[in-house]
């Protein structure tokens, strides 16, 4: 699973990756099972390149390829407001 990098209006660059993306083998299968919800979303962790705090998101399984940057940035902004 590859991550994505997006930059918001505050000029903060966010590196987003699915939780447990670096795990392989049987552990990867278990991690995918644990982090995928019944409605087909997965946990994604977005880490900022600035002073902002890391956020955790629930996004569609195909987020890395299909989710437009604007929607990813919107999800990050919403998570930051909940903070």
User: Residue-wise over 16-44: b if at least 16 C-beta within 10 A, else e?
Assistant: bbbbbbeeeeeeeeebbeebeeeeeebbb
Which pLDDT tens digit goes with each residue over 11-34? 999 999 998 755 555 655 555 555
Domain coordinates in residue numbering, the chain: 4-82
Give the pLDDT of residue 2: 74
Which pLDDT tens digit goes with each residue over 40-62? 899 999 999 978 899 999 999 99
Six token digits for residue 59: 């996004």
The Cα 72–Cα 46 span in angstroms is 10
The answer to pTM > 0.75 is: yes
The Cα 30–Cα 51 span in angstroms is 33
């Amino acid at each position: 699973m590859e991550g994505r990098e997006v930059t918001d209006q505050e000029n903060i660059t966010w590196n987003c990756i699915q939780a447990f993306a670096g795990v392989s083998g049987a552990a990867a299968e278990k991690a995918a099972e644990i982090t995928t919800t019944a409605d087909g979303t997965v946990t994604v962790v977005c880490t900022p390149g600035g002073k902002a705090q890391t956020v955790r998101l629930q996004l569609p399984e195909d987020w890395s390829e299909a989710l437009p940057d604007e929607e990813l940035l919107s999800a990050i902004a919403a998570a930051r407001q909940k903070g």
